[in-house]
Chain A
Amino acid sequence: MLSTALAIAFGLVTAALALTLWRLLRGPDEPDRILALDTLYVNSIALLVLLGIHLSSELYFEAAILIAMMGFVGTVALCKYLLRGDIIE
């Protein structure tokens, strides 16, 4: 039961990653691409959590926390660049 649910969930999250990648490549404006990058890191956190359940290993949470922090900093830096034309003033 759990392995079937995990297989379906892996498929769905991978499809979500593919859709986000399509928006990242296509996105007509810069904010669209930044939003796609933001969604990409959230989806990769979801994939890592699923992998942690699948392999019964808590090791992957450290990676998930790191991705969450670095992804947020990246989004803020890119938005600041669009807003002000500079990141560190």
Chain B
Amino acid sequence: MLDITLSVLILIGALFTFIGSLGLARMPDFYTRLHGPTKATTLGVGSLLIASMIHFSSQGEGISFHEVLVTLFLFITAPVSAHLLSKAALHLRVKSLAAPPHEVEEADSGEGQ
């Protein structure tokens, strides 16, 4: 029973990590590429850490808490780094597939560039 739970959690985690990187490699522009790795961080690494928590708790030396630190740190830092990355991309005016909003277009043409 424990083996099956562990195997399923590990497979789910690895699959989501792979899908996240696949999205990073295959998506057409930067803003859509930003989606994939975020899922890889929360779902993929999250369930891998739950699996390792169950594994080390079943070894018989009490509940294992190392994983909670990694999980907490990753879950706090992932949105911050995604936010900073999108801010940097907007600052550099990285090309997007979506049409720019109307006001931005007017402001750009108003600058005369």
Contacts and interface: CB of A to CB of B under 8 A. Distances in A.
Interface of A: 1-2, 4-6, 8-10, 12-13, 15-17, 19-20, 22-23, 29-32, 34-36, 38-39, 42-43, 45-46, 49-50, 52-53, 56, 58, 61-62, 64-65, 68-69, 72, 75-76, 79-80, 82-83
Contacts of A39: 20-21, 24, 36-37, 40
Contacts of B25: 19-20, 22-23
A3 B22 CA distance: 25
B11 A65 contact: no
Given A12-B14, A39-B37, A50-B48, A72 B22 contact: no
A8 B14 contact: yes
Given A46-B13, A49-B52, 7 more contacts: A1-B3, A1-B7, A15-B21, A19-B21, A39-B21, A53-B55, A58-B64
B70 A68 contact: yes
Contact of B24 (A6, A23, A30, A75): A23
B107 to A, nearest CB: 20
A29 B6 contact: no
Interface in B11-42: 11, 13-15, 17-18, 20-22, 24-25, 30, 33-34, 36-37, 40-41
Q: Which 9 A-B pairs have the closest CB atoms?
A: A9-B14, A5-B7, A16-B21, A79-B84, A61-B66, A12-B14, A39-B37, A82-B88, A31-B89
Interface of B is mostly: helix
Contact of B94 (A5, A31, A50, A53): A31
A32 B66 CA distance: 31
Contact of B37 (A29, A38, A49, A82): A38
Contact of A12 (B6, B15, B92): B15
A89 B70 CA distance: 30
